[in-house]
Amino acid sequence: QDVMDIEVKPKPLWLHWYECHVQPCMAELLGSALFIFIGCLSVVEDSGGTGRLQPALAHGLALGVTVAVLGDI
């Protein structure tokens, strides 16, 4: 019974227009810009035999870092 006694913040009945419209658009814009930027930078200087591995690792690491840093937003 004690495990189930978790206090949860009550959510407001309505969200502000900023949270409904602007915040998701800004998140999509920043995420897309990050992946395009990282993807372009990962293939600028090809170090020989990495092939497709270098851009794949760059995108994966960028995604991991972004989720770790901005996951609470």
What average pLDDT does the chain have? 77
Is residue 57 situated within a structural domain? yes
Is residue 24 situated within a structural domain? yes
Is residue 5 situated within a structural domain? no
Our count of domains for the chain comes to: 1
Is residue 60 situated within a structural domain? yes
User: Band of the pLDDT at 23, cuts 50, 70, 90?
Assistant: confident
pTM for the full model?
A: 0.54
Is residue 4 situated within a structural domain? no
Report the pLDDT averaged over residues 37-56: 76
Is residue 1 situated within a structural domain? no
Q: What HEC string does 17-73 produce?
A: HHHHHHHHHHHHHHHHHHHHHHHHHHHHCCCCCCCCHHHHHHHHHHHHHHHHHHCCC
Cα atoms in the Cβ-side hemisphere of radius 13 Å centred on 31: 14
Residue 37 CA to residue 15 CA, distance in Å, equals: 32
Domain range enclosing 17: 13-71
Q: Strand, helix or coil at 14? A: coil
